[in-house]
Amino acid sequence: MSSARRRGRPRLGPTVDNRERILTTAREMFSESGFERTTMRAIGRRAGVDPALIHHYFGTKNDLLVAALRPEVDVSTVFAGIAEADTSVGCEFVHRVVDLWESDPQQRARAVALLRIAVTHEEIADRLREFFLGVATGVLGQFVHADQLERRVALVMSQMLGLVLARYVMRVPGIAEASAAELSRWVGPTIDNYLFGEQ
């Protein structure tokens, strides 16, 4: 019998959720050692799986990083009924985004780590940009004026990314300690202007 490794799809363990094990291990190791010093081989060794299985599920290390650190958000639930709120769409959007970041410290830490890495890694920045643009378009697309739609959504995303970076990464005084309601009153009108304002 040949001892050569069989080619094709890596064998899955019969009782273990290998994908979740890989994601959990990747989060731990990216947090402990950073992105550059963490290898797919090391993740596979700690997770007890063949590194080929990681490539099968996630592709490259960049893909694995995004999958491991990107927050798990049910956008339809978080932003349901946004137009029926007592405040403007912009104010309600800001309030819900901040509430989302505040509600789950573990997921917030993962998202902040991903933002930090995206600043210096172009491919990861591309993936993250696609995610945030997709969320903004999905939530606000029905409210945006048709003229300059793509630019309007991009400006909303840039405003919210700036707010998140100032609050959770740079810890800017006046923003870091503000409540969701306070931030929505200050930033919401700017979002409304991006969505509906005359250009």
pLDDT tens by residue, 26-58? 988 987 888 889 999 999 999 999 999 999 999
**Tokens 């094709």, residue?**
8
188 and 146 co-located in one domain: yes
Q: How many independent structural domains does the chain possess? A: 2
d(CA 13, CA 47): 12
36 and 111 co-located in one domain: no
d(CA 199, CA 196): 9
Q: Poorest-confidence range of 71-75, 76-80, 127-131?
A: 71-75
Is the residue at 135 inside a domain?
Answer: yes
Residue 4's pLDDT is: 46
133 and 168 co-located in one domain: yes
Residue 118 has, within 13 A of its CA and on its CB side, a CA count of: 22
Residue 16's pLDDT is: 53
Residue 105 belongs to what domain range? 75-196
Is the residue at 48 inside a domain?
Answer: yes
The structure tokens listed for 8 are 């094709």
Nearest 5°: phi and psi at 70? -65, 135
62 and 97 co-located in one domain: no
Residue 184's pLDDT is: 97
96 and 48 co-located in one domain: no
Is the residue at 49 inside a domain?
Answer: yes
Q: What is the CATH number of the domain that holds 36?
A: 1.10.10.60
For the chain, percent helix, then strand, then coil, each to nearest 5? Answer: 65, 0, 35
User: Does residue 11 register a pLDDT over 70?
Assistant: no
User: Does residue 6 register a pLDDT over 80?
Assistant: no
Is the residue at 174 inside a domain?
Answer: yes
Residue 103's pLDDT is: 92
102 and 187 co-located in one domain: yes
39 and 116 co-located in one domain: no
Is the residue at 97 inside a domain?
Answer: yes
